[in-house]
Each structure stands twice: as structure tokens, then as C-alpha cells.
Amino acid sequence: MITSSSSIADSYKASGGCTCKKSKCLKLYCQCFAMSATCGPKCRCQSCNNTSMHIDEIDMARRTILERNPMAFEDKFKRSSLSVQSSSSSRRPVIGRVNKWGCKCRKSFCLKKYCECFQ
């Protein structure tokens, strides 16, 4: 299961939900499925199987994904506290999110918006 809190899933669902068309919301690129949450009323997906009525299918899809990648449902980011030098020469901690495994940007050096590291 995913290690992120349910408040992240709730805030995502409030923003509009997923828009899956052919995957039946049982693939990792469905944001609801990747967060181990079921699709809600604000999701605009078509022929969705990520609902409470299809628990068996959801469990089977998760098991097959976890067989291939045991860390598939874990959060990609970890919290890190960095100490930043301010103008008054006192260090203050800044809490940010750092990608655990790194991204695969070679040419853009994480300067494009599609990169997970871009801030």
C-alpha cells in the first residue's frame, strides 16, 4: 500500500480526480489507483473498475504490479530538511521534498516542467 497520508488523496480527489479512458483505472498511471484510493464522484474516468464494487479486481491488479516492482506504491519523494543560509548569517531549516530515486532527465537537466524534480 502507499505510505502517503489520506489527506493527500482527499486533496487530489477534491481537485478533480482522474480522467482514465481505457485502463479501467487499474494501472499505475491512474492517480487514484497509484495512491491506493478508489475513484470518486469527481473522477471523469470511463468504464472504471477502481470502485468499492470491484475490490477483487483491484487486489489482483495490485498484486501483479507488486510482483514486478515491490516499491511501486511507495511515495517517490522523501521529506528532507535542508539548512539554508539567510541574510542574517543564521541557518534556518527548510523542509522540502526530494526525489528518492532521481529522475531520468539527461538533456534538460530538470529545468522543464514535466520533470518531477522541477520546482
> What pLDDT score does 67 carry?
95
| C-beta of residue 99 within 8 angstroms of C-beta of residue 116 | yes
User: pLDDT digit string (tens) for 68-91?
Assistant: 988 787 766 666 655 454 555 555
- 32-73, pLDDT tens digit by residue? 998 889 999 999 999 999 999 999 999 999 999 999 988 787
- The per-residue b/e assignment along 67-105, b for 16 or more CB within 10 angstroms, e otherwise, is eeeeeebeeeeeeeeeeeeeeeeeeeeeeeeeeeeeeee
Query: What's the pTM?
Result: 0.60
Whole-number pLDDT of residue 62: 94
What confidence category does residue 119 fall into, taking pLDDT thresholds of 50, 70 and 90? low
